[in-house]
Amino acid sequence: MLKRVHFPASPLPYLLVAPQIIVTLVFFIWPASQALYQSLLVEDAFGLSSEFVWFENFTLLAQDEQYLSTFWRTAVFSSLVAFISMSIALILAGFAERVIKGATTYRTLLIWPYAVAPVLAGALWVFMFNPTLGIFPYFLDIIGIKWNHYLNGGQAMGLVIAAAAWKQIAYNFLFYLAAMQSIPRSIIEAAAIDGAGPIRRFWTQTLPLVSPTTFFLVVINIVYAFFETFGIIHVVTQGGPANATTILVYKVFNDGFVGLDLGGSAAQSVILMVIVILMTVVQFRYVEKKVEY
Amino acid sequence: MVENRPFLTVITHIVLVMGVAMIALPIWITFVAASHDEIRMLQAPIPLMPGSHFADNLKQTLFGAGLSGDQTPVWRMLLNSLAMALMISVGKIAISIISAFAIVYFKFPFRMGFFWMIFITLMLPVEVRILPTFEVVANLGLLNSYWGLSIPLIASATATFMFRQVFLTIPDEMLESARIDGAGPMRFFWDILLPLSRTNIAALFVILFIYGWNQYLWPLLITTDTDMTTIVMSIKQMLESAEQSPQWNVIMMTALLAMLPPILVVIGMQKLFVQGLTETDK
């Protein structure tokens, strides 16, 4: 942690950490503690008076059918996003790893969506699926499916998941490819000599050997689906139709900035904070140690 | 390759080409939409092959009024985005590298306290403290300013950890010999640490530039003045106005312009990008 050889004590190190610490205190720790405090208050709609109510906001949330279904929906949404984008990335990486000539070209062509902002990813997909103009509704209509994600909650959810998963494939692909390339050739060759075909080798060698990466990616993808997909949802569905695509982060934003329910929104923020803390702990405790078989 | 299987090689390329096509399809459709005129883009089915109006659309989007008269021109939004992205990435790198330097090379009271304080920021993404952070920024009078757009986002635990990691791999003998030669702490920082972490800084910059450019929720909250609109934000407003008067050619051209800078950064600096991604996240 600290260098064996270091500089003598002086005021200098305080000056060096000061900018980071000031930003942290003013924009992170103070607002977070405000959120904690506000979550214990009930404020009237004009912000004129507030009353200290202990955990009433939380008990209200726990009884709120809508909040509980948002929780469940967020869980389904994030696991589907993680599963879809990770499986596609795994398959593509498995094949890309075999390519000798043109491997970097494929990599270049597959990683750039990482640079696309979530809200733009949403805009591209919503354009492709525009009910009157979009190219997909046109073809879906030919096979007899009426597409309108402004009316159909299931279709809206599907569209949001597709956009979110599409954007994340690049990231997962990069990590899977790196993990596969670091598997020692001798292991794969030994299996080949023993007569295991490519598919068998993929299941019994590659997949278990990249499991630390899988575990790491599960955590990263769930964090992504929880927090970074706000832009996608905001631009594609705005949480609708009838809340069919409202996830936790979107609800915090909506209740706080649109509904102006400060106490309730703060209580939801606190719950999200607990979720982030749990995920960070999982990431640091288990990912660092690496899952191995 | 372990063994020669021509059939599998063919399958491999087919799957990969399909993957690339699937990944590229949304961009292709955007590009095609940006290359037709307004009227063609109102007839279903929309075209799948590029048209001949790309240059016109580009000119209209960049310098014309964009969608309607009262909108901020797109070049101004691009400039706002660039300023925000640069301030966030440079700010994060600057404050993280000096705090990592202090934590690794000095022994002082509360050293670990500061370290943990920085660590906590990892657990507090903007999304969980939206309202109170907004209040702080409003009280400081930073709404609708570049400072308000960037400073609240520049604390970075990951960057600090990364620099700490880099400094820990630099041999102690470097410091010993620098001190024998009479170099003070800042001299050591400028002449030895900074040059030695040059590639790490570059890799981090690539990642942070993309992160800064792609910010959405935060600018959405703190900019009410249309002159401060960033390009990424503008898409949402354009799509909303598209419900009345759809000008898909202009909207999709704007989307294309908004995506282009970070995509160019990823493709142009691929090696640094990959290094930055794996270093900051693991």
Q: Considering the domain B67-281 in this protein, what is its CATH number?
A: 1.10.3720.10
Preceding peptide of A241 cis, ω within 30°: yes
Q: Do A135 and B118 touch (CB under 8 A)?
A: no
Residue among A34, A111, A123 minimizing CB distance to B132: A34
Reduce the DSSP state of residue B220 to 3 states and report it.
helix
Q: Do B128 and A166 touch (CB under 8 A)?
A: no
Is residue A135 within 8 Å of B46, Cβ to Cβ?
A: yes
pLDDT the model gives residue A9: 75
Residue among B25, B99, B277 minimizing CB distance to A16: B99
- A185-199, B213-227, B230-244: which has the minimum mean pLDDT? B230-244
Average pLDDT for residues B207-229, to the nearest whole number? 88
User: What does the pLDDT profile of chain A (293 residues) look like in tens digits?
Assistant: 667 667 877 888 899 999 999 999 999 889 888 888 888 877 665 666 677 777 777 887 878 888 889 999 999 999 999 999 999 999 999 999 888 777 788 888 888 889 999 999 999 999 899 888 888 888 888 888 888 888 888 899 999 999 999 999 999 999 999 899 888 888 888 888 888 888 888 898 899 999 888 988 998 899 899 888 999 999 998 887 888 888 988 988 888 877 777 777 888 888 888 888 888 888 777 665 544 44
Partners of A2 on chain B (C-beta within 8 Å) are 103-104, 107, 111
CA-wise closest residue to A133 among B48, B42, B26: B42
- Amino acid residing at B25: L
CA-wise closest residue to A20 among B146, B86, B208, B120: B120
For the CA atoms of A262, B233, A230, A123, the dihedral, rounded to the nearest 10 degrees, stands at 140
Q: Do B255 and A128 touch (CB under 8 A)?
A: no
- Amino acid residing at B67: L
Reduce the DSSP state of residue B106 to 3 states and report it.
strand
Residue B66 has pLDDT above 60, yes or no: no
Residue B231 has pLDDT above 50, yes or no: yes
Is residue A110 within 8 Å of A96, Cβ to Cβ?
A: yes
Reduce the DSSP state of residue A52 to 3 states and report it.
strand
Q: What's the complex ipTM? A: 0.87
Minimum Cα–Cα distance from B206: chain A residue? A115
Report the distance separating Cα B148 and Cα B138, nearest Å: 9
Report the distance separating Cα A179 and Cα A212, nearest Å: 9
pLDDT the model gives residue B229: 86
pLDDT the model gives residue A149: 83
The residue ranking higher by pLDDT, B120 or B72, is B120
Crossing angle for the helix pair A262-282 and A56-63, to the nearest 10 degrees: 80
Sorted by where each starts, the structural domains of chain A and their CATH numbers stand as 50-289 (1.10.3720.10)
Residue B111 has pLDDT above 90, yes or no: no
Average pLDDT for residues B202-228, to the nearest whole number? 89
For the CA atoms of A248, A254, A260, A261, the dihedral, rounded to the nearest 10 degrees, stands at -20
Token duo for residue A83: 């599963």
Reduce the DSSP state of residue A41 to 3 states and report it.
strand
B155-190 confidence digits (pLDDT tens): 888 889 889 988 988 888 888 888 888 888 889 999
Domain spans of chain B, in order of start: 67-281
Q: How many CB atoms lie within 10 A of CB B49?
A: 8
pLDDT the model gives residue A291: 45
Report the distance separating Cα B135 and Cα A257, nearest Å: 12
Minimum Cα–Cα distance from A184: chain B residue? B2
Is residue B185 within 8 Å of A12, Cβ to Cβ?
A: yes
Q: How many CB atoms lie within 10 A of CB A172?
A: 26
Report the distance separating Cα B256 and Cα B269, nearest Å: 20
CA-wise closest residue to B16 among A82, A115, A110, A166: A110
Residue among B16, B136, B176 minimizing CB distance to A30: B136
* CB neighbour burial string for B160-195, b if at least 16 within 10 angstroms, e if fewer: bbbbbebbeebeeeebeebeeeebebeebbeebbee
Residue A102 zone, left/alpha/beta (φ > 0; ψ -120 to 50; rest)? left
Nearest chain B Cα distance for residue A207, angstroms: 17
Report the distance separating Cα A253 and Cα A77, nearest Å: 18
Is residue B204 within 8 Å of B93, Cβ to Cβ?
A: yes
B185-213 confidence digits (pLDDT tens): 889 999 989 999 999 999 999 999 999 99
Nearest chain A Cα distance for residue B129, angstroms: 6
User: Could you tell me which residues are beta bridge partners of residue A41?
Assistant: A52
Query: B124, B150, B160, B256: which to substitute to probe chain A, counting the most A Cβ within 10 Å?
Result: B124
Eight-class DSSP state of A7: B
Which sign, positive or negative, has the C-alpha torsion B3, B6, B11, B17?
positive
Residue among B26, B136, B274 minimizing CB distance to A27: B136
